[in-house]
Structures are given as structure tokens and as C-alpha cells.
Chain A
Amino acid sequence: MNWTQSLFRLVEPVVPPRFVVKRLLLLVPVLFGVASVVFAILHLAPGDPAIVIAGQRASTEQLEQIRQELGLRRPLWEQYLSFLWDAARFDFGQSYSISRGNSVRSVIADRLPITLELAIYGQAAGILLGIPLGIISAVKQDSLTDHVTRIGALTGISVPIFWSGPLLILLFSTYLDVFPTSGRIDSTLFLPDTWTLFGRELPLTGMITVDTVLLGNTEAFLSAAHHLFLPALVIGVYSTALISRMMRSSMLEVIRQDYIRTARAKGQGAKITLMKHGFRNALIPVVTVIGIQFGTLLGGAVLTETVFGINGMGLTIVTAIGVSDYPVVQGTVLTFALLFTLVNLVVDVTYSYLDPRIQQ
């Protein structure tokens, strides 16, 4: 038996590949629709791209030439088809103004890791804190711990990021001066573009806490972590609140089930029953929520980047809409939608692993 077969054996019983393929095929029409919506938005948007590029004082001939170059004089269906083809190849042309002359793809490649890093830390904090908090809250229903956790979580989802962010900056940066107000790393530190592994030069990831570790630069890592702390905290608190609420209600529902009573009646200890039978089953709806709320988290990243002046995808899209840099808007919105869809695909596959009934 060769290694591919053995690898397949390892994966097969977990999630049948047919299920994954089916889910992937279902993505095609959705992504097609998503691209169509983005195309429609661009064409409904007011303003002439030619004027955005050439400026108000450009001559009629110049404007006409730009329109020809951009293909704006072609019939709409032709523009639509070529947009779909471009989108499939992830090519959105060049930025009109915020990063003029650079391809939208390179803008996204630069800024997506920044947003992902923020989202991953926020989400990780949410999962690591929210799940245990939710379990404790459910097991000790109506105790003081439960009430405190519940009210804390409700407050957590009610406080907008664009309020908690500024308040934290005011307290910790402006008044106490223990955290930086904005940016990703100390401006005196300089990071190279590549790192070396076994004598080979490799590109960096763009995620600053990862890059500084790869480079083995402790000082830079500490500075990056110092800068990232408050933004990640703001997102993390929100995510923790959301996940702990879901975990609590899911756990409450599961511990009322007959199989839990049966397990207890058979003499199984309370803790083992809770973890072995309760936890896994309660996790199923929570996994779905984690997927759905990832979209909210991306929205939260946009707001956090704006508050903390982090130049990721969020700040990029806000700036691009402000100056009508449509290729960048298209590219970033599509990337966000693609990312969100893929996360939900992963969630679905995880779901089917946790609850094999879903595969039928």
C-alpha cells in the first residue's frame, strides 16, 4: 500500500470526499451570484471612472481615451462576461487612486494578511475563552457565576467596537501611555521582505507576529505584539461574548436530553458525562455560529482597523469607497465574500464530522 492510499484511509472515515466535493460544487453558483452582485454594484455606482482616474480637469479626449482603455464603451453584456472571466482569475486590473499603478491583486496580497492576523487572534481568543465560559455558565445555571457571565456576554455584544476601541486607547494610550495608539510596529524597526530557511530565501507571510518569529527578531516581535494587543482585545471580547452565549444555550439544551440522564443512571460520573456526551453534542450548533459570526468578525476588523489606524483590508475598502477607487472596492469585497464562504465551507465539513447524520 503506497502512502496516498494510507493517507486516504486516514481521511476517509472522517468525512467522505463525496460530501466535500458536493459542497464545493454548491459553492460555484453562489460565487457566480456574488461576482454578479459586485459587478452590478460597480455599474450602478455614480461617478465616471475616467474622471476618477484623470481628475476633474482632464480634457474630453483624454477621458474618452481612458473610457476606451477600460472597455467602458463596449456593450454591457461584454463587460459583464469579461468581468466574470477576470474575477475567476482574480484579476481586477489596477487601482485608480489609493495605490495608483499597482494591481488590485498586489494591494490585496499586501493587506489581507494584516486583516487575517487580527481576525485570527480575535477569533482564537473568542473560542478559547467563550467555550469554557459558556459551559460553566450552563452547568451552574442560575448561579452567581452564570448571571455574571450572561450579563457580561450581553454587555459584550452590545458595546460597539468603535466605542470600546476609542475608550481603550484613551485609557491605556493617551492617559496611562502603556500601549501605542496606532500602527503595527515601532517605526524605528525595519523588517526585510524575505527570510532565510536552510540557505533559501522565502517570502514573508505579511502577518507581522508570524514574520518577526520567522526572522527570529525578538524585539520586533514584542513590539508587534504590543501594537496588536488592544485591537485584538477589542475583537476578542466581542467574539468571546458571542460564543459563550451560544455555548451556554446549546449546552443547556443538551444536558436535558435523555441520553445524558441514561449515562448518569448507568453510574457514569457527572464530569465525564458532561465532557463525553454533553460537550461534543453541544459543540455542533456552536461550530455553525462560529462560522456565521466570522462574517461579523470581518466587519469588526474593518471598524477596528479604522479606529486603530491599521492599514489592512478594512481600512483599504473604506478609503477606496471614499475616493471611488472601484477596482479596489470590487477586489476587496469579493475577497471578503470568498473568505467568508470558504470559512463556512470548512465549518460545514467540521459540522459533518461532529454530526455524521448531516452527510445524508
Chain B
Amino acid sequence: MSTDTETRGALGRLRASPFLADLLTNRLAVVGLTIILGMAAIAVYARVTYDLGALASSQLGTEVTDRAPPGWLGPAPATQQLFGTDAAARDIYKRCLYGAWLALKFGTITVGTSTTVGVGMGIIAAYYGDVTDNVIMRTMDVLLAFPPLLLALALVAIFPRDLGLWRAVVALVLVYTPRFARVVRGAALKVLEDEYVDATVALGATDPRILVRHILPNTLAPITVQSTLNFGLAIIDLAALSFLGFGAQAGTPSWGLMLSRGVENGLLTGQWWLSFFPGLFLAITVLGFNLLGDGMRDALDPRMREAVD
């Protein structure tokens, strides 16, 4: 029965949590959450419905290429493809939808890994202090001394081309981890000053127990905000690396790569649909995460609650 009471207790806490209540009354945050959930639904739908091979390979010979979307007074509007087709006669609509799956999947892996590693390092640095702290944080300082996208570009050069988006993921994890480590270390240092940590130590708790049971939960708030805001950034950066030619492999329906083809083939000829639709999906997704992240930050910061008189 103890688990039952625990669950009920947790639910009660959740309901009474001013954080959640604030978050749900923040209209912009709700809009953000709706966008993200909608995008996730699109991603799952595309993953289940479409065949990646068919989306990636050239459809030349079956269709006239570079067709404008229907309803557009272009030279040869497509009748079937909602967003028109690209130079290889591929359906941009389906590719945009599948792009949501790629962006959310690789974005989640990137942010998840850098959060986990960064949180671990930040907490360990704060708790053990001294040499450990110095070694970890000075290494982070070095990584933070590079402009983010440029460090990612240099790191991507290490990995073989056929790793595709995975090499962008590894590079970006190395770029983001220091930011998490820094935020978490700051938060953990504050928690360490609290007396209950001393009390736990006096009671004979082991280091891992103190770290996981007492320090980690109390640093979760800043981590969550940072992760959400970083999610938008990660999706943009993954697309940017693909756009520059160092991410998704040729043919992959990633938004970044589609945008790069749009610049290559569509700018001078005025084929706006090659760039417009993938970019729109990308921007809306990022906007969703930024809206939610902003809302969370406001909800967590009590000073933001009451308006100025």
C-alpha cells in the first residue's frame, strides 16, 4: 500500500505545484506545448506512414521536377503534392513531415545526452570541489571559449562522412555539455550551502546518495528550463550543420539539407517552395520550444509573477 500512498502524494504535490499551475495559465507556454505535441504527432505519423527509402531516393522519371505547389500560378503547378516537388521530383510535403521525426529524434538525443553528462559533471564538480572541480570546470572553460557553431564544425571534421547526422549529434553534445555543467554547478553550490545537506552527511549518507537524492532534485528546475531552451537551439544547430553539408547525408529528408538544396537550386530560379516549407517547419518547431522554455522560466521565477504597479 505504501506505493499507492506515494503515488497519491506525488499527484497531490503535482496538483498543488504552483509551477505547473503557473505554466498552464501562461498562454504562450501552452501555445508552445501545443506546437511541440503537434509536431511530435506529425513526426510519429510520418515515421509510421512513409518509407524513408522512397523519400530519400530520386523520383526522376515518374514526375516532372521542380513543380510549384497547387494553387500557385507557376509554370507547372503540381496537382498531387501539397508543397510541390524538388529537383529530384520528390514530394516536399512528405519530406517536411518526415523531417519532423528526424529533428525531434536527433534533437532529443543531443539534448538528452548533453543534459545528462553536463548535470553529472556539474554536480560532481560542485560536490567534490578542489582539484576535481578545477579539472572539470577548466576543461569546460576551454570548450566554452569557442564560438558554438565553429567548435561543432571543427569537431564534425573528425568523424567519417557516412555517420551522417550522428556526427553532428556528437559534435553538438560536446558543445552543449559545458553550458549544462556550468548552470548545474552553480545551482548545486547553492544547494550545498543548505543545512539539510550537512545533516545528511552527519547521518552517514554515502556520496552517491547525497548527490542523487538530495542535490540533484534541487537543481532540476534550472536544468529543465535550460534543456527546453536548448532544445530549440539544438534543432537549429543540427539543421545548420546539415545545411552547411556536415550533417545528414545526401537525400535524407532533413530540414537543414532541404534548405541547402533550396539555396542551391531555387534562389536564382525563384523556386521558393524548395526553401519556404522546410524552413517554416523548422522555425515553428523552434518557436514551440522557445515559447515553452520562456513560460517555464517565468513560472519558476516568483518575481515574474506579479506585474509591476
Contact = CB atoms under 8 A, between A and B. Distances in A.
B87 to A, nearest CB: 15
A154 interface: yes
Nearest to B256: A162
B150 A255 contact: no
Interface in A326-340: 329, 333, 336-337, 340
Interface in A177-202: 181
Given A296-B147, A321-B246, A169 B142 contact: no
B142 A318 contact: no
Interface stretch (A14-22, A26-34, A98-106, A352-360): A26-34
Nearest to B287: A158
Given A33-B138, A167-B279, A340-B145, A303 B290 contact: no
Interface residues of B, number: 55
B262 interface: yes
B150 A46 contact: no
A38 B154 CA distance: 8
Interface residues of A, number: 56
A321 B158 contact: no
A175 B298 CA distance: 42
Contacts of A33: 138-139, 141-142, 145
Contact of A318 (B145, B244, B308): B244
B147 A181 contact: no
Interface stretch (B123-131, B190-198, B264-272): B264-272
A310 interface: no
A339 to B, nearest CB: 8
A252 B305 CA distance: 11
A154 B153 contact: no
Contacts of B149: 296, 298-300, 302-303
Nearest to A253: B303
A160 B266 CA distance: 18
Interface stretch (B3-11, B75-83, B200-208, B232-240): B232-240
B221 to A, nearest CB: 17
Contacts of B284: 158
Interface in B133-160: 138-139, 141-143, 145-151, 153-158, 160
A337 B145 contact: yes
Contacts of B145: 30-31, 33-34, 337, 340-341
Interface string B155-184: 111101000000000000000000000000
B283 interface: yes
B150 A317 contact: yes
A151 B27 CA distance: 12
Interface in A206-253: 252-253
Nearest to A41: B154
Nearest to B174: A37
B245 interface: yes
A299 B148 contact: yes
B240 A160 contact: yes
Nearest to A38: B154
Contact of B275 (A163, A175, A298, A321): A163
Nearest to B280: A163
B146 A333 contact: yes
Contacts of A317: 150, 153
A154 B152 CA distance: 24
Contact of B267 (A36, A157, A158, A166): A166
A336 B240 contact: no
Given A41-B154, A170-B270, A34 B262 contact: no
A163 B280 CA distance: 8
Nearest to A260: B308
A159 interface: yes
Contact of B156 (A256, A303, A321, A340): A321
A10 interface: no
A158 B268 contact: no
Tell which of A44, A160, A295, A336 has the most Cβ of chain B within 10 Å. Answer: A160
A29 B142 CA distance: 9
Nearest to A295: B147
Contact of B303 (A155, A163, A166, A256): A256
Interface of A: 29-31, 33-34, 36-38, 41, 44-46, 141-142, 151, 154-155, 157-160, 162-163, 166-167, 169-170, 173-175, 181, 252-253, 255-256, 294-296, 298-300, 302-303, 306-307, 317-318, 321-322, 324, 329, 333, 336-337, 340-341
Identify the 3 closest CB pairs spanning chains A and B, nearest first: A299-B149, A163-B279, A33-B142
10 contacts: A30-B142, A31-B145, A158-B290, A160-B283, A163-B259, A173-B267, A256-B303, A298-B150, A303-B149, A337-B150
Interface of B: 28, 138-139, 141-143, 145-151, 153-158, 160, 232, 236, 239-240, 243-246, 256, 259-260, 262-263, 266-270, 272, 275-276, 279-280, 282-284, 286-287, 290-291, 294, 303-304, 307-308
Given A155-B283, A336-B146, 11 more contacts: A33-B145, A159-B279, A160-B240, A160-B282, A174-B268, A252-B304, A306-B263, A307-B263, A322-B245, A324-B157, A340-B145
